[in-house]
Structure 1
Amino acid sequence: MPGDSAQAVLLACAPALAIAVDRLLGEPGLRWHPVVWMGRYLAWAGERLAPRVGAPQVRSDSQVFWAAALAWCAAAAIIVVVTWLFQAWVLTEPEWLAALALGLFLKPLLSWAMLHDEVLGVERALADSLPAGRAQLSRLVSRDTAALSPTQVRESAIESLAENLNDSVVAPLFWFALLGLPGAALFRFANTADAMWGYPGERGGRVWAYAGKWAARADDVLAWIPARITAALIWLVGGLRGGARLRSEAARTPSPNSGWPMAAMALALGVQLRKPDVYTLNAGARAPEASDPLRTCAIGSRVVLVGTLATCAAMLCALI
């Protein structure tokens, strides 16, 4: 990134502009959304890479793994090159236009307003009926929601917000601060690939154990630092003290990253969060109540505010 002060200032303002656009205008249309484009490529490639359940094995596990890794790397390289060229061109334009363009093009690579509203929508739907709450939750999570109790619906909504607070906001901001638009775009692609390919077994009639392994590990690597930053921000705005409890709770989940923001949120709310037969966070605390999704969104909003301001400040200090 350039080092002169004028361009440093505009780069530092881009995260705040992106968050403002997110809150005021929401998501761009599907036709223009880069994450949707990523998803379409991943769906197309996944159908050709992941073997069907029960189908004769044409390629070895190793061949499936390396073919999927190559498909991931090829798409990631194209994304990085295109966004780098775009950013380089934008920075040659007048400062007001460059600042506007960077903020507008960063916006689709992060999302807070939609996540916030979807989580609140789960509680509103749950107030109408349990089936409505389950249906609303299914828009947020990949697990089967048909048999979830009201408590489990709330637990899942809170967990989803905490995990996606990292994936959809903090991590894109972190990588933008380090590498600009290419960094944010690369993370968004890696996270989308993990969501679509990163399953240890079967899903959608296909076997992902080897086809999704590279995508899962790449997302783990790119999200490792941001997940811990997200947990620290939740810890900070939640007014908690001492980190030993957070570390021990985060270690209860099988994921090396998602347990951190989820554990921090469970402790900040003073509630227990569970995924049956997988983990229990903050065991012994009360179950989530109707007011807790709103409290979760309030904590998340403060994390977004503090995280955005910290990103702007860090970039300004580093670039001037």
Structure 2
Amino acid sequence: MRAAGIALGALADALFADPRRFHPVAGYGQAAMRLERVLYADSRAAGAVYTAVAVGVPTAAVWILQRRASGGWTVVLTAATAWAALGGRSLLRAADGVDRPLEVGSLSRARFALRSLCARDAAELDGDELAKATVESLAENTSDAVVAPLWWVFAAGPAGIAAYRAVNTLDAMVGYKTSRYRNFGWASARLDDLANVVPARISAALAAVLAPVAGGSTAEGLRVWRRDGSRHPSPNAGQVESAFAGALGLRLGGSVNSYGDAEDSRPAMGDGKAPAREDIKRARKLSWAVGAAAAGLAVAGALMTRRRKR
């Protein structure tokens, strides 16, 4: 039942992407914003309470449904939560949203479109810098929005994927080291780090193995991943970005990114050329391949687990 649900959820994401209106994750984000207004205080303790409530309530609700579901309803619940949590098709569409304006030289439109991929300040980025930001965001979000949800639905079913999506959404909302969220968002950011330890490394391994799909080298992907994966300030993003850098023969990082009133210094990863607009398409192709492989592994893993239990 779980394998069938994962397969249907992944297929629904590939075919239909995220709805532009009434998406459950968007609704969750709005509820989390209202909860923040009630619980906010500039302290880690307040942030921990906020994280516990914002993650615990939806996880408990889905866990109750998971316990009561059986047969076909298990498939429906698994497929629905997987579809709601996965963002592979939307991720590729967002990358296209940056690529197309760059192709016609519209930096203003490309800068605006980058907001769908990441929260960094794009006001001063030129064409090549926008291309690099897009490739980096594709790499990181391939793990966050595709591989990690698949891992958690395989490992813990609908409740697991609901918990993961709640944690990852909170990190995107309050996990920045700005003056407002440095303390309040600490618990959400650390929990997101823990939730992505395994998925990030699966994503990096798949990116390296599948490098030839995008005209790259598996050996170079593995080499750069081993060398540069731990240099990034994020314990997980660096794993995937370094593997993408090596797999695509690019040089990522090496810049200071602005997030509101906070700055994040990124070390260089990879030994290749700086990304250009045409590399966005290669990164999209690799992202798609990693997501497809991860879906196949999740389905196969669920089937194998079921057989062992028998």
Q: Which of residues 26, 29, 47 is equivalent to 1:68?
A: 47
Check 1:209–1:281 CA distance in 2 against 1; reply closer, same or farther (3 A cut). same
Structure 2: 5+ residue stretches without partners: 212-216, 257-264
Counterpart secondary structure, 1:247: helix
Q: Which of residues 183, 206, 210 is equivalent to 2:160?
A: 183
Counterpart secondary structure, 1:27: coil
Q: Quote the residue 2:266 is aligned against.
A: 279
Deviation at 1:298, TM superposition (A): 0.8
Q: Quote the residue 2:244 is aligned against.
A: 265
Rounded Cα–Cα distance in structure 2 between residues aligned with 1:213 and 1:101:
32
Q: Quote the residue 1:5 is aligned against.
A: none
Structure 1: 5+ residue stretches without partners: 1-9, 52-60
Counterpart secondary structure, 2:196: helix
Q: Quote the residue 2:13 is aligned against.
A: 22
The C-alpha deviation readout for 1:223-272, integer Å capped at 9, x for no partner, is 11111111011011114127453132122210111011111111111111
Q: Which of residues 19, 22, 31 is equivalent to 1:41?
A: 31
Rounded Cα–Cα distance in structure 1 between residues aligned with 2:87 and 2:69:
23
Residue 217 (str. 1) matches residue 208 (str. 2): no
RMSD between aligned residues: 1.8
Q: Which structure has the larger Rg?
A: 1
Rounded Cα–Cα distance in structure 1 between residues aligned with 2:148 and 2:64:
22
Between stretches 22-31 and 112-121, larger displacement belongs to: 22-31
Q: Which of residues 77, 80, 88 is equivalent to 1:104?
A: 80
Counterpart secondary structure, 1:209: helix
Contact 2:223/2:246 (CA < 8 Å) preserved in 1?
no
Residue 251 (str. 1) matches residue 230 (str. 2): yes
TM-score, structure 2 normalization:
0.88
Residue 288 (str. 1) matches residue 275 (str. 2): yes
Q: Quote the residue 1:148 is aligned against.
A: 125
Rounded Cα–Cα distance in structure 1 between residues aligned with 2:170 and 2:17:
23
Q: How does 1:81-120 map to 2 (within 5 A)?
A: 81-91=60-70, 93=71, 95=72, 97-120=73-96
Check 1:244–1:275 CA distance in 2 against 1; reply closer, same or farther (3 A cut). closer
Q: Quote the residue 1:241 is aligned against.
A: 219
The one-letter amino acid of 1:86's match is L
TM-score, structure 1 normalization:
0.86
Contact 2:229/2:239 (CA < 8 Å) preserved in 1?
yes
Deviation at 1:284, TM superposition (A): 4.2
Identity score, percent: 30
Aligned residues: 292
The C-alpha deviation readout for 1:99-151, integer Å capped at 9, x for no partner, is 24421232011110010011022110112212221111122211111100111
The C-alpha deviation readout for 1:265-317, integer Å capped at 9, x for no partner, is 11111111125232243354212122211111111111111111111111111
Rounded Cα–Cα distance in structure 1 between residues aligned with 2:300 and 2:34:
40
Contact 1:18/1:107 (CA < 8 Å) preserved in 2?
yes
The one-letter amino acid of 2:200's match is A
